[in-house]
Structure 1
């Protein structure tokens, strides 16, 4: 199986690769459009700013390549937000518009931003990504922006307000948390994705 991790030059690339290898698979980190277009599974990691990651995608002519992917694609944290229509960050940034929902600054009220640490993920419908995972399981977060609840939401978390923890549109999945930092449940979710 050809598992590709998009090289977004962010800090969590190696930890995602190691998590996949721990599950018994090999993964390639690349930003070569020709290699990416052959993927059986594509992971879009992200830590940092929306403007930086979008600049990377356009610089490497990956924006259209990603949109045309027909294999399962998993966006992680900022990589999930890349799939959105628009990000509130830095006065507004156009994203890939695969999932036509904007990403907004969390209305955390008196809670600090970024939302950092463990939080529960809740869902009431079965999904291939959540096989063997119970609602209320804990996952690790590090973010200030999120999708509001929308028609593509398949799981939620709450940090003063409820937000989308997981979204799906066709073959595109997004998780706002970091499965590679989320212990056994994170490993299970990655395994589920790789087995789709």
Structure 2
């Protein structure tokens, strides 16, 4: 069973529907203890990084415990940003710290500031795959996916794919059983469904 975390940062309906399309069994845990039943965890979300404060220390401890046991974790959009150390959007709100670095506002990339780009970044854009990892198995180079966000994670050695919008940012990240995507796979057609299937393969 896949645990879909609901912390009131966006509608879960489209994510649930996409997961049902690929045959995933999904439940929404009501308390951190419910995660003991989860074979994998998905953290979705849209909006302000500060919304992750709803996931208090008991949720954080439970999620990290499951990750420590080797259960796969997948972050979508804001959920991916939460996997990092934090975000300039809410400087006093820490992330999980599973990936190093802080999320930044689009157009303020240190080496390529571009104040003229449209923020938020909404619509279809292409992926440039930098590392062939399991989360992008079967995904073609330059595949198009759907974004809606104002902040993003920096490139690192764990970046799997980047996208350009006022500079490059991490669109997909993966280390072992932990992965995240900045775009919305549930709104990205066959490419998004393939990535969700790849996560289910991690779950086994």
TM-score, with normalisation over the residues of structure 1? 0.93
Cα deviation, 1:7-66, whole Å, max 9, x if unaligned, reads 12232311111101011222112242111133111100011211122x21117x201112
Does the residue aligned with 1:174 lie in a helix, a strand or coil?
strand
Alignment of 1:67 onto 2:85: no
Equivalent residue, structure 1, for 2:110: none
Alignment of 1:146 onto 2:152: yes
The total of aligned residue pairs comes to 193
Does the residue aligned with 1:119 lie in a helix, a strand or coil?
strand
Matched ranges for 1:27-176 at <5 A: 27-53=26-52, 55-58=53-56, 61-68=58-65, 69=67, 70-107=70-107, 108-176=114-182
Bigger drift between 127-136 and 89-98 goes to 89-98
Does the residue aligned with 2:197 lie in a helix, a strand or coil?
helix
Does the residue aligned with 2:20 lie in a helix, a strand or coil?
helix
Q: Which runs of 5+ in 1 are unaligned?
A: none
Instruction: Confirm or deny: 8 A CA contact 1:124 1:135 kept in the other structure.
Output: no
Q: Which runs of 5+ in 2 are unaligned?
A: 108-113
Instruction: Confirm or deny: 8 A CA contact 2:131 2:159 kept in the other structure.
Output: no
Instruction: Confirm or deny: 8 A CA contact 2:162 2:170 kept in the other structure.
Output: yes
* Structure 1 runs, 4 residues or longer, greater than 2 Å off: 90-93
Task: Indicate the structure with greater strand content.
Answer: 1
TM-score, with normalisation over the residues of structure 2? 0.89
Does the residue aligned with 1:195 lie in a helix, a strand or coil?
helix
- Residues of 2 paired with 1:153 and 1:31: CA distance? 32
1:134–1:9: structure 2 CA closer, same or farther, 3 Å change rule?
same
1:105–1:132: structure 2 CA closer, same or farther, 3 Å change rule?
same
